[in-house]
Structures are given as C-alpha cells and as structure tokens.
Amino acid sequence: MSENYQTFEYDVLVIGAGGAGLRAAIEASAAGCKTALVCKSLLGKAHTVMAEGGIAAALATVDSRDSWHQHFCDTMIGGNFANHWKMAEIHAKQAPDRVRELEKWGAVFDRTTDGKGNINVRHFGGHTYKRLAHVGDRTGLELIRTLQDKGVHSGIQVHMECTIYSLLKDGDRIAGAFGYFRETGRPVLFKAKSVVISTGGIGKLYRVNSNSWECTGDGFALAYMAGADLADMEYVQFHPTGMVWPPSVRGILITEGVRGEGGVLKNNKGERFMFKYIPPKYRGKYAETEEEADLWFKKVVVEGQVEETVKERKPPELMSRDVTARAIWNEINEGRGSEHGGVYLDIASRRTAEDIKRKLPSMYHQFKQLADVDITKQPMEVGPTCHYMMGGIKVDPETQMSTVPGLFAAGECSAGMHGSNRLGGNSLSDLVVFGKLAGEYAAAFAKKNDLPKVDEAQLAVLSQEMNRPFEHEGGESSYAVLADMQIIMEKGAGMYREEGLLDQCLKDLEGLRTRWAKISAEGNRMFNPGWHVALDLRNMLVVGEAIARAAKERKESRGGHTRTDFTTYSADFAKKRIVIRRHGDVMEVATEDLPQIPETLETELVKEGLLKPEILKQIRGEVPAH
C-alpha cells in the first residue's frame, strides 16, 4: 500500500445524507447499532432540500374520502402499473405515520383553516384528493432540517464532504466502502457489517436538469459494480416545469405547487392546451372544459369549499408529470411555444399578489431574482427538465435489501416504488418510509453478522485508480467530457427514444469512455472539483449505459419511457421489468417478471370503484388505449 488511509469500523454505514439516508441512520442508531453517515456535501445540503411542494400521505385532514387504498391506486395508475405493488402498498399505508412522526420530531407543517388546526394538505398532479402536507414551497428544507436535528442527537457519526469510490465485499456479502475526503483528498476505509445506499439521483447526466452537482448516479454505479441488480433504469422523469430563461437558470425546478395553487399552462396563442392531452386513464377524472376547470378553481382554491361537495372536476394541469411533460413538449415542437422555447405557466391572472407571495414565496423570489420576472404580474416560461430516476437498485420491498447480502438501498436510488412515473410528493414520503425500513433491516443484518474481512490488496488498486487523473499529462479537462456526456444523453436517451438513437448513444458513450480514461486533473488532491468530476464521471458512464440499454430493451412507451418507434403500451412488456447486472466487464440486460397485485386486493379495489377494469386492461396493453 503506497499511501496511508484512515480506517473506521461501524455496524451500519449509510452513504448519502438526504432524507432517506438520515432517516435510515436514525433508525439504525435507535436500534443500538454504531452508525455512520457519509455525504458528499455538508450535512443538510443534500438534494432533498430542493423538494418544494410537499410530502404525500393519506392523512385525510382536509378530504375525509382519502385512504391508503386511494393513495395506492393513484401511485399505481401514475406509475402505469410498472410499480412493485408491494412497495406502493407499504408506502401508502405507512406514509401518514411517518409524517406525524416528523411533526413529533419538530417539523412545523402548515395548518388547516377549518379551526381544527390539523396538518394542511394541498393538491398535486395525479393525486385524487388533496394529499400533500407542506410548508409553503420549502417542504424539503423542513424535512431535512428536522431529520438533521434529530440525527445529531442520535449518536450518529457524520463524515461530511466524503465521497465513496467503491463498495467492498467479503465473498458475496458487503464488507464496507472505500473513498476519499474531499477537503484533503486523503483515502478512507469504512468497514461495516451492513451498508445502506441512499445517494439520490442521476440528473447531472442530462444537459437540462433540476439537480445539484451531487446527482451523478453514484449509488447505482457502486451497487452495480458490487454485483447488485439494477431495475427499471429506462424510467427517467422529466419534470414538466423547469425554468427556461435566462440560459444560466435553465432547468431549475418550478414546483408543481404553482399548478396546485391554481396556475394554468398556456401556449403562445393563449390557449389552455392541457384539455387536449387527457389520456384514457385519466378521462372522467379531470375537467373537460375551461368553464368547468374554472368553476372548480373558484370553488375549491379561491373560496376554499370542501371538495367533496363540489361537482366539477379538477383542471387537467393537475395530471401526472409524464403526461404534462409530453404535452408541453408537443406544444413547443409544433410551434406553439413561448419566445424562449417553453410554454407559459400563469398564476398572475389567477391569484392575488398577496396569495402568491404567501403560498409560493420561494418561486416569487426565484423568478424575481434570477429572471427579472414578477410572477404576481407576468406568466413564467417553463419547459421539461430532467428531474428524477424511477429505476435503480433492485430491492426486497419489505427489507430494502439488494441482491447483495448486507447491501440496502432507499430513496431515489432504489427501484420499484414509483413504477414508470413518480407522482409529485411521493418522493419525500418514499424517503422516510423506506429510509426507516432500510435502517431497521440494515441494523438487524448487522446484529446477526460479524465484521467482515477487507481485502487490503484491493485497496491499493482502488487508490491507484483514484489517482489516475493526476498521472496523465496534457489530457482533457473533466468538464469537457461532462458537457459532452450530457449532450449524448439528451440526444440519445432523453424524453423521446428510438432504436437508432439509442444505438448511437451507446456507441457515443463507448467513445466517451475512452476519452474519460485519459482525463487530466490539474493541481493536487486538496478540494479539487476538476478531479472530483473526473471520478464521478466513471459512475455517470455506467448509469448512462444502463439507461440506454434498458430503454432499448423496452419496446413500448410507458410513463417516463417514451419510444417514438413503439408508441403504445405493450402486453409483452406490461408485466416485465428490465434488469441490468454486471457480468465480468459486460453489462448484461435481463427481463424478469414484475410481481402483480394479488387478485384479492385487485378485486377489492375494483369493487370500491378505485380501479376500472378497462383502464387496467389498457395499461396492461391487452386492449388499445384510445
């Protein structure tokens, strides 16, 4: 071993300190395990902080008709039944308890105005009833701060600004992780009995995205390289409303809460175009005329009438993200876009300036400061932005363990919960529901197993690999490779995919891998972003390939995966999931059966009128969807 490294020993090591990681660490620590939390940024800065609109849970504080059954059905329909039903069930059942628990840990949610003072909930796309507990438009900040303050008093050891470069194994089981401290560049070894991956998403693979520098798909790549299965990697969510102008802010998120609070989408002709795009699965649930939508808005949003007593249906702006993003894309493509290549999102003409500032303070601030737009007076320009990865590490729905013993995953980096399309608000609840389970079962695994052995020789190889960018001279900068990576993914595996483009994408990624191997980093290992990007790119190349291969395999369109050469749902794929696994140096693509809702539950939901058999048949590709 050519250089020294620090060594730590833990029962449970959690990688990633967003909502899922923090929740997992709190649970593992409460179970009596010596627990550590490793994060690439400072604690409290993880991407969870950017979540705006709310956390979905069938609390039924505003609409008494809500139930876990309804939340479950909304999640499955939103995900086009590509979800692992068991995860969707656990999520719908447990989310309300997790939200109330946050409150007991100090979270301060907005209250209902009915005099009872319960947790208030708001409308969001694809949710039948008002269901998102929220704090203005900064719910993610509230969640992360609450968990952070709970966590620092739970005896968790936090290693900040530390990047994991590789997981370690002892035979088949997990043995820990190896990485470096960003400040010093010094390597560090974590020996652990179990490891939880909660590293979030992949947004940085795409040019227009709503994600931070951290979202480079680390967890997916680490797990893949450690031999764990990935699933559903073709399902990438493009959020319908990212900022469009000026160029420097392109992609930054505009919360769906704007539409929840009454905002409407218009094209350059002033037309509210969403009425044209209601798919069969949502027909009958959304208003079909502007008059009806406006009446609903007036009664429910402005006057605050109890929705149960309102006969009008809600506006189609509140459909799920995949549907809305495709509608916006289509308007832009057909020449009805806004001046900078988006469409208009108008709340100025719908709510008073005072209401807008109170309900959407950070949106008001964001546009005023960054785009010179006053959203109380002018419409916003919006367009799709890469936002979320539905696919990820394949886990057992109840324990969150991956196919590698002792390796767990929770949150965005795990697969199954959201199917082919995530509903807004279901991410924050996903984090706390499955974060808790991952922590609980990682602790149980740690208690049953001894500390594994770590192969010291392997560490020397990894150390050398990490140092490689400093050993090349005159090579490219990592930033140039990153910029091309984002363009390759946008062109080849973006919102719309097709066989030829995917083949080209895979070929381009291969070429990029050659360039990546020759990257040069300048300076030394101390806090060196150029070097960090070079190492993160290894992960991005793995994830990019996984997305393109999975997307090529799924010859149908479903949720976040839209093929221009296979435009409909297909019965051949409806009950299958695409699995990616490592076979030596080759990325293997396999197809597995997706577990289906048990007949008894399906019958029950149909009987309650929550599921319609003909819609199910359409989504399962058994009859055409018109």
Interface residues toward other proteins, by CB under 8 A: 41-47, 49-50, 100, 103-106, 108, 110-111, 113, 116-118, 135-136, 138, 141-142, 145, 149-150, 152-153, 183, 212-214, 245-249, 252-253, 362, 365-366, 369-371, 477-480, 483, 521-524, 526-531, 533
Catalytic: which of 259, 326, 549, 581?
A: 259
Structure tokens that stand for 448 in this block: 């049953």
Q: Which is nearer to other proteins, 366 or 402 (CB)?
A: 366
Catalytic: which of 127, 131, 239, 525?
A: 239
Q: Which is nearer to other proteins, 523 or 598 (CB)?
A: 523
Would you give the end-to-end CA distance of the chain in angstroms? 64
Helix (H) or strand (E) holding 499: helix 499-516
Q: How far is the CB of 440 from other proteins (least distance, A)?
A: 22
Q: How far is the CB of 45 from other proteins (least distance, A)?
A: 5
Known active-site residue 626:
no
Q: How far is the CB of 108 from other proteins (least distance, A)?
A: 5
Query: What contacts 198, CB < 8 A, 6 or more positions away?
Result: 14, 15, 16, 17, 18, 20, 21, 24, 219, 409, 410, 411, 413, 431, 435, 438
Q: Which is nearer to other proteins, 39 or 300 (CB)?
A: 39
Q: From CA 457, how far away is CA 443, in angstroms rounded?
A: 28
Backbone angles phi, psi at 158, to 5 degrees: -105, 125
Torsion of CA 211, 212, 214, 220, to 10 degrees: 0
Known active-site residue 259:
yes
Q: How far is the CB of 66 from other proteins (least distance, A)?
A: 18
Asked if residues 287 and 313 have their Cβ atoms less than 8 Å apart, the reply is yes
Q: Which is nearer to other proteins, 227 or 530 (CB)?
A: 530
CA 572 to chain centre: 27
Q: How far is the CB of 529 from other proteins (least distance, A)?
A: 6
Q: How far is the CB of 531 from other proteins (least distance, A)?
A: 7
If we measure between CA atoms, which residue out of 580, 506, 509 comes closest to residue 550?
580
CA 483 to chain centre: 22
Angle between helical axes of 478-493 and 529-553 (0-180°, round to 10): 20
Structure tokens that stand for 117 in this block: 């003072």
Q: Which is nearer to other proteins, 469 or 559 (CB)?
A: 469
Q: From CA 393, how far away is CA 15, in angstroms rounded?
A: 14
Q: Which is nearer to other proteins, 59 or 401 (CB)?
A: 59
Residue 597 identity (one-letter amino acid): I
Residue 353 identity (one-letter amino acid): A
Which residues are known to be catalytic?
A: 239, 259
